[in-house]
Amino acid sequence: MEDNNQIKFALYLDNWDFERDDKKTLKNDAVEVTTTEYTPDMKDHIFCPECSVNLFRSPEETDYDSNGRKAFFAHSRKYQPYCSLRVKRAKGKRYDSEELAKKAIDDEELIVVKGFMKDKPIPLNNDNPREYQAGPVEDKDGDLADVPIGRHNGESFSLPSRITTVRGLCRNFNKNIYKYFHLPGRKNAIQLKDLLVDVRSVKGVDDEPKLYYAKVSSSWNCGSTPQNIRQTMFDFPRGEYVDFCLKARDGVSVEHGIDDHSNGKIVIMFGIVTESGIGLSIENVGWGEFAVLPAKYVELLY
Ligand SMILES: [Zn+2]
């Protein structure tokens, strides 16, 4: 995913060869170069800091490509050992003009997300609080937002935005998964399917809010309901961190369908990844920042 797994630096070592030479030599003797430090004479002599396969800079000589994206390092296809840095780079959707971007919004191909609702909306009609149980507000207008998705050097357009909920995304998920979303603070609009990060691939803390998905392995309430935190554990491969969990208030969790008997359910959540003891967690999620994916859509993710 574009913002997620960029190779921050390449290892530059003249005349090193992936098949012939010792990886230890590369790691000991190479110089770290960023995309801005790269010079054309390094071509064919830069390598991945993780898997040691040849890298190339794209574009090779200029700092931005024709879509206005910053130059990046990518793996050569010649050798393909597993590498966590080798991920498909999702292409951001670009528009030729503000009118075309607005049309894409009208056509529901593009959604500019100003934010996800922190709190459950208060019913307008206090005499009839049941109204929201029938159909809670999951989406409302935001302000005009400056969105850098112009084709020409990432020019910004002023576009209507939405304040939405993850639960809203999960409804009609089969359609939403192919729409382009511009998330707060991002430089591009990416299809939802490419924005969703499997927590099993997470290696550590991440300060940039992202949309994550995970399968519940257990869930329990840490105190008296509804205000206490419910801790929901996910399937996660034990590595440097031993587990991965979501912490949200019990009342809100239960309202979203997460209780003591939720094993196997798929949760989608928006947030940052922090350390929690010897594990990782997503905490302080608001009412609109997580949801259980309806079972009929699970096969779209797994
Ligand atoms: Zn690699």
pLDDT computed for residue 134 by the predictor: 45
Length of the chain: 302
Distance from Cα 31 to the centre of ligand 1, integer Å:
16
Distance from Cα 84 to the centre of ligand 1, integer Å:
7
Tens digits of per-residue pLDDT, 45-84? 999 998 999 999 988 888 887 766 788 898 888 887 877 7
Phi (first) and psi of residue 166, to 5 degrees: -65, -35
Q: Which domains does the chain show, CATH number per domain?
A: 10-75 (no CATH), 98-192 (no CATH), 196-300 (2.40.50.140)
Distance from Cα 243 to the centre of ligand 1, integer Å:
25
Distance from Cα 134 to the centre of ligand 1, integer Å:
50
Whether the Cβ atoms of residue 182 and residue 111 lie closer than 8 Å to each other? yes
Distance from Cα 193 to the centre of ligand 1, integer Å:
23
Distance from Cα 101 to the centre of ligand 1, integer Å:
35
Distance from Cα 85 to the centre of ligand 1, integer Å:
5
C-alpha count within 13 angstroms, C-beta hemisphere, residue 187: 14
Distance from Cα 239 to the centre of ligand 1, integer Å:
19
DSSP 239: S
Whether the Cβ atoms of residue 221 and residue 249 lie closer than 8 Å to each other? no
Task: Kindly tell me if the per-residue pLDDT of 15 is higher than 80.
Answer: yes
Q: Indicate the average pLDDT of the chain.
A: 88
Whether the Cβ atoms of residue 189 and residue 180 lie closer than 8 Å to each other? yes
Task: Kindly tell me if the per-residue pLDDT of 123 is higher than 70.
Answer: no
Distance from Cα 49 to the centre of ligand 1, integer Å:
6
CA 247, CA 229: separation in Å to the nearest integer? 6
Three-class SS of residue 82?
A: coil
Distance from Cα 21 to the centre of ligand 1, integer Å:
16
Distance from Cα 87 to the centre of ligand 1, integer Å:
9
CA 132, CA 124: separation in Å to the nearest integer? 9
Distance from Cα 80 to the centre of ligand 1, integer Å:
8
Distance from Cα 153 to the centre of ligand 1, integer Å:
28
Mean pLDDT along residues 30-37: 94
CA 228, CA 49: separation in Å to the nearest integer? 43
Distance from Cα 270 to the centre of ligand 1, integer Å:
27
Q: Which helix (H) or strand (E) covers residue 216, if one does? A: strand 206-221
pTM for this prediction:
0.70
Whether the Cβ atoms of residue 104 and residue 180 lie closer than 8 Å to each other? yes
CA 113, CA 145: separation in Å to the nearest integer? 9
CA 129, CA 120: separation in Å to the nearest integer? 12
Distance from Cα 230 to the centre of ligand 1, integer Å:
38
Distance from Cα 50 to the centre of ligand 1, integer Å:
5
Tens digits of per-residue pLDDT, 194-235? 899 999 989 899 999 999 999 999 999 988 777 799 999 999
Tens digits of per-residue pLDDT, 234-289? 999 998 999 999 999 999 999 999 999 999 999 999 999 999 999 999 999 999 99
